[in-house]
Amino acid sequence: MYITNITHLLDASAKMPEDVPDEARGLIDFLTQVIDTTTKNLPHTLTQTDIRCFEKGCSGMIKTAFRPDTEEIHWYCPDCEVDGLISGWQGTKWDNR
Ligand SMILES: [Zn+2]
């Protein structure tokens, strides 16, 4: 499971704007899409999105849910079963609440 505090990731990428490896950039793009989509509806159960899995060779469509107790965003790929939790998304520019 990927446990991500998005503010740490954004801080890290802000400090090395040109040196961020493509892989990390891809992950940040993916996670910000997950935040953007999930905070529009805040579904409490895993709900299909139009976000494609970031794993190489996987074409799964990501499901996401909002956990009201911890305010974490849970995402899950039903194809390769990779999943993760995102915290620290509140107040970022992808927070659509
Ligand atoms: Zn996948």
Distance 61 CA to ligand 1 centre (A): 7
Domain residue limits at 8: 2-87
Distance 49 CA to ligand 1 centre (A): 13
Q: Is residue 10 part of a domain?
A: yes
Q: Is residue 71 part of a domain?
A: yes
Distance 75 CA to ligand 1 centre (A): 11
Distance 62 CA to ligand 1 centre (A): 7
Q: Is residue 21 part of a domain?
A: yes
Over 90: is that where the pLDDT of 25 sits? no
* Count of domains observed in the chain: 1
Q: Is residue 95 part of a domain?
A: no
Task: Write down the residue that tokens 């899995």 correspond to.
Answer: 53
Q: Is residue 93 part of a domain?
A: no
> What's the pLDDT tens digit per position in 28-75?
899 999 999 999 999 999 999 999 999 989 999 999 999 999 999 999
| CA 89 – CA 50 distance, rounded (Å) | 20
